[in-house]
Amino acid sequence: MQDEFLKLNQEVTDAVAQVTDLEALEKLRVEFLGRKGKMAELMKQMSGLSDEERRVVGVVANQVKGQIEGVFGEVEGRVHKAHEAQRAHEEWVDVTEPSIPPTRFGSLHPVTQVREELEDLFTSMGFLVLDGPELESDYYNFTAVNVPPAHPARDMQDTFYVGGQQNRVMRTHTSSMQVRAMKTHGVPLRMVSPGRCFRNEATDVRHEHTFHQLEGVVIDRGIHFGHLKGVLEAVAKHLYGEDTEVRLRPKFYPFVEPGVNGEVTCFLCKGKGCRLCKKTGWLEVFGAGMIHPNVLKEGGVDSSDYSGFAFGFGLTRLVMLKYGIDDIRHLEAGDLRFLKQF
Ligand code: PHE
């Protein structure tokens, strides 16, 4: 009988060694250790033995039973581990894999794109980028920049007068930031200030009540006209390419003296003359000049010690030229068919 138990033990060990899944293992468990299994079968046969024999065989039987249970436990552990490994393999995620780019909802307005590009350029040249109020006092928009109440230049920049204590107006140009910047940052000063401006216009393809400008101011000891031209050239070349030239011609602006109109080589015909530049070869882009002593004075700057230049240009106009947009009103209309093209 002992041998039969040992044989059973061997049989179990061999059978179980082949097992790879828990289901098959459970089947074997029933076959060997179940109530009607092979082990129980052998145990039953022990009743035919003498007491003496039963004692000896009993010891072996118990040992074998223990061993078989041990083997089952072991195999169960092994199969379980294999399962886990398999699952881990199937569910493995590479967290270092590049993510799926987010779907693009909308895009930056073309004016924003050009504005950001210019902010980068000016920042690289050491300029501060300042933000200013769109609803501005009459003082900063006009009086501070040498356009006192009865000045005829006010006619050219009619705007929306909001009134109130400070006589507020929707600012007509970013030049309103000239004196503000001098007062807050003092001198030496190197700043640009882009932003929205407003004028009371009868709108058409070239006129709009809302548009964007970018103002620049540089003040220090010994600043002269050459510095102004240098900066305008840097901007023009950045926008339209290295072979772009800048031409300055006298123009009156109350807040500069001398004042100029800055023109750049037409980027479309390269100066030969075309429809865009009205056959002149030049595009009017900048208003600029040396800051008027009256304006420096308003900003608390001693004009006998410091000098500076200011320039301003229409961001809206740059965008129209850059993309060949023929109607300025597209830019503020919020029409997605237009905006989706950028
Ligand atoms: N503010 C002027 C305009 O709106 C432009 C300008 C700025 C001119 C600075 C000279 C100096 O037309």
Query: Across the chain, how many H-helices and E-strands are there?
Result: 13, 10
Structure pTM?
A: 0.70
Instruction: Please calculate the CA angle 323-328-332 and round it to the nearest 5 degrees.
Output: 105
pLDDT for position 148: 94
CA 217 – CA 189 distance, rounded (Å)? 7
| DSSP 8-state code for residue 46 | G
Q: Phi and psi for 150 in degrees, rounded to 5?
A: -95, 10
% of the chain exceeding 70 in pLDDT: 100
**Cα four-point dihedral sign 108, 171, 317, 272:** negative
Per-residue confidence (pLDDT) for residue 211, from 0 to 100: 95
Q: With bands split at pLDDT 50, 70 and 90, how would you rate the model's confidence at 23?
A: confident
Q: Answer whether residue 11 shows pLDDT above 80.
A: yes
- Is a pLDDT exceeding 90 seen at residue 306? yes
Please list, in sequence order, all residues whose beta carbon lies within 8 angstroms of the beta carbon of residue 139, skipping any fewer than 6 positions away. 166, 167
CA nearest ligand 1 atom 4, residue: 173
Q: What CATH number does the domain located at 110-339 have?
A: 3.30.930.10
Q: Is the CB of 262 under 6 A from ligand 1?
A: no
Supply the pLDDT for residue 56.
86
Whose tokens are 């970013």? That residue is 174
- List Cβ neighbours of 191 (8 Å cut-off, separation of 6 or more): 127, 128, 129, 130, 177, 181, 185, 216, 217
* Residue 137 bridge partners (DSSP): 168
Nearest CA to ligand 1 atom 8: 287
Task: Choose among 269, 291, 292, 295: nearest CA to 280.
Answer: 269
Report the separation in Å between the CA atom of 169 and the middle of ligand 1, taken as the mean of its atom positions.
17
Q: Could you tell me the residue ranges of all domains in the chain?
A: 2-90, 110-339
Q: Is the CB of residue 288 below 6 angstroms from any atom belonging to ligand 1?
A: yes
* Cα distance between residue 169 and residue 159, in whole Å: 7
Distances (CA, A) of 201 to 147, 151, 156, 157, 318: 20, 19, 10, 9, 19
More confident residue, 86 or 293: 293
Q: Residue 110, preceding bond cis, omega within 30 degrees?
A: no
Provide the residue type at 268 as one letter.
L
Ligand 1: does its nearest atom lie under 6 Å from the Cβ of 286?
Answer: no
Please compute the mean of the pLDDT values over residues 54-75 and round it to a whole number.
86
Cβ-based neighbour number of residue 151 at 10 Å: 12
Q: Phi and psi of 321, rounded to 5°?
A: -65, -45
Report which ligand 1 atom has the smallest distance to the Cα of 287: 8
CA of 311 to the centre of ligand 1 (A): 6
Q: What is the mean predicted confidence (pLDDT) over 332-342? A: 92
The CB of 145 under 6 Å from ligand 1? The reply is: no
Question: What are the tokens at 31?
Answer: 């076959």
For 94-142, the pLDDT digits (tens) are 889 888 887 777 889 999 999 999 999 999 999 999 999 999 999 999 9
Indicate the average pLDDT of the chain.
Answer: 92
